[in-house]
Amino acid sequence: MDLKNLKPVGNKIDRGISMIVYGNPGVGKTTLATTLPPDDTLIINAEAGLGPLLGKGTYVYPLLENIVNNEFEKVLDELYKKLRTEKHRFKNVVIDNISEIEGQLITHITQRHGKEAPTLREYGDASYKMKQWIHQFRDLVYNNINVVFNAWEFPMELRNAEGNLLSLICPKVSKSIVPVLCGCVDIVGRLEVHEKTGKRWVRIRPNDMYLCKSQFKGVGGSADESGELADLTIILDKVLNYKYTKESK
């Protein structure tokens, strides 16, 4: 790279957006993925249930159906390579979900090693591969693809920047993976549903209970709100149309 050709960052984002949506099983994360345009959205499905996708017209890659001889890594590696290098229709990729992928990966590595239960070796191998996949799929944003990681949730103790130990609700992955997963994306949101009305929204504004974030001050709700309407198209469009001004600093 010629350093003379470097350009300053503009006022608007000029690539895809990366996001994590986490929440309890059944809260509607897969349904939320169907708010993206079906013609240009691919859902990488690692779960057994396809009910929320029926009749939606969204393209689905059934990850577990393509695994042969416990070679879990090979399937996802080849899929990533095709998304990165081949011409395709997809502008949105949803990994549904990263918690299940980690669990499946540990199981398949353990079975390949001929063990009945995973040991530190299997957990270590899985952690290394998970971190690699998270960065690789996140980097699809530089191909102008929006990437959404779905995850279950889990309470976890983490240290903040001041070194204090906090108990937060986080995306459900191994503790060593949480900082990688949440640190490398643009938005971390928790899908929530109102118990009485059934209204859903994505909590983006962080607090002392939930691990959430947005790199864009215009996204995440106003000062008296905690998030955005549960519609990924609206949220992503809001980010892509976000324009930095001195007032938004």
pLDDT digits (tens, 9 = 90+) for 101-158: 999 999 999 999 999 999 999 999 999 999 999 999 999 999 999 999 999 999 988 7
pLDDT above 70: percentage of residues in the chain: 91
Task: Give the range among 24-38, 112-126, 216-230 with minimum mean pLDDT.
Answer: 216-230
* Mean pLDDT over the full length of the chain: 88
Q: What pLDDT, in 10s, does the model give residues 53-109?
A: 888 889 999 998 888 887 889 999 999 999 999 999 999 999 999 999 999 999 999
- 217-231 mean pLDDT: 70
pLDDT at 223: 43
What does residue 243 show for φ and ψ, rounded to 5 degrees? -125, 125
pLDDT at 165: 79
Neighbours of 175 (CB within 10 A): 12
pLDDT at 48: 63
Any idea which architecture 28-152 has in CATH? 3-Layer(aba) Sandwich (3.40)
- 173-183 mean pLDDT: 92
Instruction: Report pTM.
Output: 0.90
Q: What is the DSSP letter of 121?
A: H
Q: Is it the case that residue 239 has pLDDT exceeding 70?
A: yes
